[in-house]
Amino acid sequence: MAYRRSRGHVRGTFVRDASFVKKPNLVFFDLDHTLLSGDSDVLWCDFLMARGILDRATFAQRNAAMEAQYKAGTVSAEAFAGFYVGTLEGRSAQQWEPLRREFLTNEIIPRIPIAAMQLVRRHQSAGDLVVMTTATNRFITELTAQHFGIEHLLATEAQISNGVFTGRTEGTLNMREGKVWRLEHWLAARSHTLEDFHSTAYSDSMNDLALLEAVDEPVAVDPDPKLAALALARAWPVLRLHPVAHE
């Protein structure tokens, strides 16, 4: 522990210099294509189409187009979140629950790289405050967060009225700049600011540029081409968690 000599005190006495006190670590993990080899929203649509819950003729092309626009950064947060939250419309959480658990078991867990789980575990074992932050809605992703043992989840919220999903979003979308807004308000509710921590964020996508720029230590994980170029230019660390990097 570093100390400084206190001004105006008896010679030889010292007080602790707050500037040398180590800050606690706060770690943000994006989910899709970062901790997961795939996109939860896209996989959810594929899962529902395979079971005849969504009409393949209607949704397959729209699902693929939405994924491509997201990767290109050309889709609005409202259009992206609204499309996928719309798949929940007309059913209650209780009605969706068996399918949600099947989705986790069959589609999500097999796509979690061992290296991703090990990385999360290392941060948890070190006592870091770990947060999963994702543009995908909470209902689809909260079981994934639980599987990782991550208590804190920031996600897009799906609106519920009279116990039934309306197919609309609620509140600020947890996407692009919205991720920073949501994390700041989450911290404020805990009587903290980002400056109270040494912060790290892991992400694969330029869609998370605002988040990566907000933290002390941005880490690009199997980055898309735009983020890879930016990480190289800014000397950000690049981490490989997936056997084959996505394009």
Q: What is the mean pLDDT of the chain?
A: 90
What confidence tens digit (pLDDT) does each residue in 152-185 have?
Answer: 999 999 999 999 999 999 999 999 999 999 999 9
Gap between the Cα atoms of 177 and 244, Å rounded: 28
Answer whether residue 147 shows pLDDT above 80.
yes
Structure tokens at 2: 């570093």
Q: In this predicted structure, what is the pLDDT of residue 74?
A: 83
Answer whether residue 242 shows pLDDT above 80.
yes
- Sequence spans of domains, the chain: 23-239
Q: Which of 30, 41, 46, 208 is catalytic?
A: 30
Q: Write the CA distances from 2 to 17, 22, 68, 75, integer angstroms.
A: 7, 10, 51, 49
Answer whether residue 7 shows pLDDT above 60.
no
- Confirm if 68 and 168 have CB atoms less than 8 A apart: no
Answer whether residue 20 shows pLDDT above 70.
no
Q: Which of 17, 32, 128, 216 is catalytic?
A: 32
- Confirm if 215 and 233 have CB atoms less than 8 A apart: no
Residue 4 CB: number of other CB atoms within 10 A? 12
Mark whether 32 is an active-site residue. yes
Answer whether residue 213 shows pLDDT above 80.
yes
Place of tokens 């789980």: 117
23-239 carries CATH number 3.40.50.1000: yes
Q: How confident is the model at residue 9 (pLDDT cuts 50, 70, 90)?
A: very low
Mark whether 30 is an active-site residue. yes
Q: In this predicted structure, what is the pLDDT of residue 4?
A: 34
What confidence tens digit (pLDDT) does each residue in 27-52 have?
Answer: 999 999 999 999 999 999 999 999 99
